[in-house]
Amino acid sequence: AQSVTQLGSHVSVSEGALVLLRCNYSSSVPPYLFWYVQYPNQGLQLLLKYTTGATLVKGINGFEAEFKKSETSFHLTKPSAHMSDAAEYFCAVSDRGSQGNLIFGKGTKLSVKP
Amino acid sequence: GAVVSQHPSRVICKSGTSVKIECRSLDFQATTMFWYRQFPKQSLMLMATSNEGSKATYEQGVEKDKFLINHASLTLSTLTVTSAHPEDSSFYICSALPGGRETQYFGPGTRLLVL
């Protein structure tokens, strides 16, 4: 069975500071990994994904994540936080490969202080 | 591209009534659609997976007779919460998977409040 662990339910950074949201996964098969962002009372928006190939993945809004197989991690980073980045972030691993079933982490709420 | 809509966005109903939520893929055909529920300050929990023209596959612990799913076309799936009770109050989110792709596209969610 696959699972996702997001360390830290709440992360607070200052505007302009580095954003680091941690995600570790377990999977018995090569994983597809995703980061989604959710703004209040809205659905999820895909930030970035890793399927195969390059392990450093760039997404929207300046975010990127690196797939590290040896560490079973897929941490999300952004060099400089913006106030508009404040939201809930979910890491997910795809279950059953191409069928697309997603297993989500519990989410990390990012707060950005002025 | 890859837009998914849900209707209604918010619904309040009395206990014992049924509520239907629609999920549409607006600019692509979705061979598979997923239904999730999300309780406050929690993650998304998959309820069921529906494939066009076939019966939905429900996750363990989800009552198939209570949460009726119909995926009648490649662009529409519906979730009907039958005989809703206050404990069914939640945020319901659907997603759609384009054929042959690995990325789900999510709808904006439907907030259900059962009084």
pLDDT digits (tens, 9 = 90+) for B53-90: 888 999 999 999 999 999 889 999 999 999 999 999 99
How far is residue B113's CA from residue B75's CA, in Å, rounded to a whole number? 26
pLDDT at A98: 46
Chain B, nearest residue to A6 by Cα: B43
Q: H or E element: which one contains A88? A: strand A87-95
**What are the phi and psi torsion angles at A99 (to 5°)?**
-75, -15
Task: With CB atoms and an 8 Å threshold, state whether B46 touches A102.
Answer: yes
Look at residue A52 and tell me whether its pLDDT is greater than 90.
Answer: no
Of residues A94, A98, A104, nearest to B44 (C-beta) = A104
CB A21 within 8 A of CB A5: no
Classify residue B99 as exposed, middle or buried by CB count within 10 Å of its CB (0-12, 13-18, 19+).
exposed
Q: What is the DSSP letter of B103?
A: -
- Distance CA(A59)–CA(A35), nearest Å, equals 9
Separation between Cα atoms, residue B61 and residue B25, nearest integer Å: 27
Please tell me the distance in Å from B9's CA to the nearest CA on chain A. 9
Question: Quick check: A46 and A32 in contact, CB under 8 A?
Answer: no
Residue A100's pLDDT is 67
What mean pLDDT is reported for chain A? 91
Question: Above 80 in pLDDT, residue A95?
Answer: no
Of A23-32, A105-114, B10-19, minimum mean pLDDT range: A23-32
Do A94 and B102 contact (CB within 8 A), yes or no? yes
Tokens matching residue A77: 């980073």
Residues of A in Cβ contact (< 8 Å) with B112: none
